[in-house]
Every structure is written in structure tokens, then in C-alpha cells.
Amino acid sequence: MAPPPTASDGAVILRSPLLSAAGFAHGFSTRLGGVSAAPFDTLNLQSPQANARLADGQPRDDDGAIRENHRRFAEAAGIGRDAAVADVSQVHGCSVVASHEALRARPAADAITSPRGGGAILIRVADCVPILLADRRTGSVAAVHAGWRGVVAGVLPAAVAAMREARGAEPRELLAAVGPCISARHFEIGPEVADELAGAGLADCIVAPGVHGPKHHADLVRAVRMQLERCGVERASIDAEPPCTYADRARFFSYRRDGACSGRLAAIIAPG
């Protein structure tokens, strides 16, 4: 990730040098530079729909603050404060939808694609892995949300396949950027999750008990890098050295660390 730029109103984001060099407007959020009050201080990018569904008694952010945070984030990423941005209701699965479908109905999915001339797309995380994909040749893009369930289900290969089928994107032409997420040191898992990852051909991303603690841990960044390379994305075209959301309380939200008091981070990208 490149050093964080700061928008004029304070929103602080991270950018991928690979995507920036190719001219794609994009960004990964931090928790800095928004208007939300504690415990969601300050750039909480929760969806308004999810915020409204919270039960009485649960911590809830102000809807107006959430809207202003999204405007600041989009502007900092070079998208524009008032641009239409497609998102989805994320369910830890492997469904991929097109941006026009997401704008029309906000379906349940964990990846969105958008063609050249299409709109910006956004996914949210709070420890899971955000991945932005961009095709240098066609200008099409994808945004992917991948927790361990999505990794096992194959949401990232599904997004690459969707870009190829819909827009003719060739994996060797893709750029991929992995944003802030939980690191292996802090992602403790049970044996059943380790078995799921191994069954998906990702045994190399499992960290044995005794390395980071008494239980298994999982390296999701390594897992998505492995999947990208297996899809045909070149190693030199993958930007995958993200900071850890759990370890860096000052800059990032983390659901595993803070539970219901955690805000949400986001990743956004517009077609080239």
C-alpha cells in the first residue's frame, strides 16, 4: 500500500501503487477522517441498510454520519462525492453480480464487476480480505469481499471468471490489490476451519499450533494470493502486503477485536 493520502476534509485512505500507476481511481479506507462518534470513530463505512437492521440496544451509528463518511471516502478515492456507487448485501458466499444489477436491487453477493463506462463499486470489511481487480486492457474492474468462508467457497476465482466471461478479461492482464485485513498472527481458527481450508487446496495457508499460539491460525492474504496465481494472475501484478486490521487499532476497525462496537472499512474502485 502507498502512503496514505488525505483529502481536504480529512478522509485518509490507502492506495495500491499498481492500480494507481495503471490509472484506476480506487481506495481502501482507514478509520480516520470521518464524522462518526465513538465507538465508530470516525470514518465508519457501514451500510445504511445494515445500520438500520441493528436491534434495539445494539450500538448504532448516526445515518447522517454514515452518508457523509461515504461521500468523503468516495471523494478521497477520486470517485466524486455524489457519484453513484454500487454495493451488495454481503453474505460470505461466492456470488458475483454486475454493477448495474447491484444498483437496481442490492442483491446478496460478495463480489461486484463493472465494465469500462460503468459505475464505481464498493465492498465492506472489518477483518475479512478486500480485493480490487482491474483489467489493464478492457478497463473493467471487480471488488471482492473474502472471509475464510468466501475463500473456501471460491469467491475470488468466481470474480476472475466473471470478468473473463462478461468482458473478455484475460487473467494475465489483471492487476490485483489486497487491502487491510486481519493477519495470520491474529487470525486464530479452529480445527474445523483448518480442515475446510485444506479441503479447498489451501493447506499452505494454515499456520500450525505453536507458531502464533496454542491453536491453528490462517493466513488469508496468502490464500488469496495462491488463488489469484492459480487463476493465472501474474505474481508481479499482485499487490498483497496489507496492514493488519486487528493489530492497528489507531487506523482500522476490527470485528474480531471490537465485536459489535466495530465500524466497517471499505474498498472502492471505478472502471478505467
pLDDT tens digits for range 183-212? 999 999 999 999 999 999 999 999 999 999
Region 229-240: mean pLDDT is: 98
Task: Residue 119: give its domain's CATH number.
Answer: 3.60.140.10
Mean pLDDT of the chain: 95
In a domain, 238, yes or no: yes
CA 234 – CA 178 distance, rounded (Å): 14
Region 96-123: mean pLDDT is: 96
Cell numbers linked to 229: 496465481
In a domain, 1, yes or no: no
pLDDT score recorded for residue 55 = 76
pLDDT score recorded for residue 98 = 97
In a domain, 3, yes or no: no
Q: What percent of the chain has pLDDT over 70?
A: 97
Rounded-to-10 torsion of CA 253, 13, 7, 259: -10
CA 133 – CA 173 distance, rounded (Å): 10
In a domain, 244, yes or no: yes
Q: What percent of the chain has pLDDT over 90?
A: 90
Q: Residue 7 pLDDT more than 60?
A: no
In a domain, 208, yes or no: no
User: Worst-scoring range by mean pLDDT, 62-66, 87-91, 168-172?
Assistant: 168-172
Q: Which residues pair with 123 in a beta bridge?
A: 267
Task: Give the domain extent around 252.
Answer: 13-183+219-269
Domain count, the chain: 1
In a domain, 139, yes or no: yes
- pTM for the whole structure: 0.96
